[in-house]
Copies of this chain bind each other. A is one copy, B any other.
Amino acid sequence: MSRKKSNISMAVVKRLPKYHRYLRELLLKDVDKISSKDLSKRIGFTASQIRQDLNCFGDFGQQGYGYNVADLYEEIGKILGLNQEYKMVIVGAGNIGQAVANYINFEKLGFKIYALFDKNPKLIGLKIRDIEIQDIDNLETFVKENNIDIGIICVPKSYAQDVCDKLVSNGVKGIWNFAPVDLKVDEDIVVENVHLSESLLTLSCLMNGCES
């Protein structure tokens, strides 16, 4: 089963987490095999789209027999980078930061939150689950000493670039950015944005029939 990494387009990358979620649900229901047609009914992509996507990175299906759910789940997990653990910190312990800290599902997938940071003295020292909110002044030392992989930015947009620079200069390779600003980083750093305003405007656009 060879993975043809270089053939995965950004459009497919964006669909992979959804495949992963549906395949997990199938596994939990003890489903061993599934056809592209049945998977299509559940996941909402067309069967031909599914065959095309899954062909991109390996040979999982047998004509007429369907996909092996466990194999496919495992292989997609590997492509998603889930065969390792990630050490994360959250910067900004407001509502969004606390919400992310409370998502225990991330931990099950191997994403472990090591600390939250804030500059608000009223928050410093508090705990979200068992994760302590620390003084933002400790951020750089902590990130460096603990080999943090991913920094989650939940601060107001005017602070976001500065926080990003501090994370990256101390070894962080991935930034999950909730601030409504586009961060500037070197090419080897990955930024994934959650821009809530843009999502809401997409909703209103579609409600007004803007899509063809």
* A156-180 residues at the B interface, CB under 8 angstroms: 173-174, 176, 180
Contacts of A102 in B (CB 8 A): 94-95
Does residue A6 face the partner (Cβ distance < 8 Å to B)? Answer: yes
Contacts of A103 in B (CB 8 A): 196-197
Does residue A98 face the partner (Cβ distance < 8 Å to B)? Answer: yes
From A31-39, A60-68, A114-122, A203-211, the one touching the partner chain is A203-211
CB nearest neighbor in B for A189: B207
Chain A, interface SS category: helix
CB nearest neighbor in B for A152: B200
> How far apart are the CA atoms of A20 and B86 in the complex, in Å?
34
Contacts of A149 in B (CB 8 A): 207
Partner of A206, one of B182, B192, B199: B192
The quantity of this chain's copies bound in the complex is 2
Contacts of A190 in B (CB 8 A): 203, 206-207
Q: A17-B197, A95-B102, A194-B196 are in contact. Are A211 and B174 (CB under 8 A)?
A: no
Does residue A127 face the partner (Cβ distance < 8 Å to B)? Answer: no
Contacts of A17 in B (CB 8 A): 195, 197-199, 201-202, 205
Contact between A208 and B81, CB atoms less than 8 A apart: yes
Partner of A201, one of B8, B16, B43, B212: B16
> How far apart are the CA atoms of A13 and B207 in the complex, in Å?
12
Contact between A204 and B98, CB atoms less than 8 A apart: no
> How far apart are the CA atoms of A44 and B182 in the complex, in Å?
9
**Nearest CB on B from A70, distance (A):** 18
Partner of A81, one of B9, B44, B210: B210
Residue ranges of A at the interface with B (Cβ–Cβ < 8 Å)? 5-10, 13-14, 16-18, 20-21, 43-44, 79-82, 86, 94-96, 98-100, 102-103, 105-106, 109, 111, 149-150, 173-174, 176, 180, 182, 190, 192, 194-212
6 tightest Cβ-Cβ pairs between the two chains A and B: A95-B99, A17-B198, A81-B208, A81-B204, A192-B203, A17-B201
| Given A16-B201, A17-B199, 10 other A-B residues pairs in contact with their CB atoms under 8 A | A5-B209, A13-B202, A16-B202, A20-B201, A43-B182, A80-B204, A80-B205, A94-B102, A173-B207, A190-B207
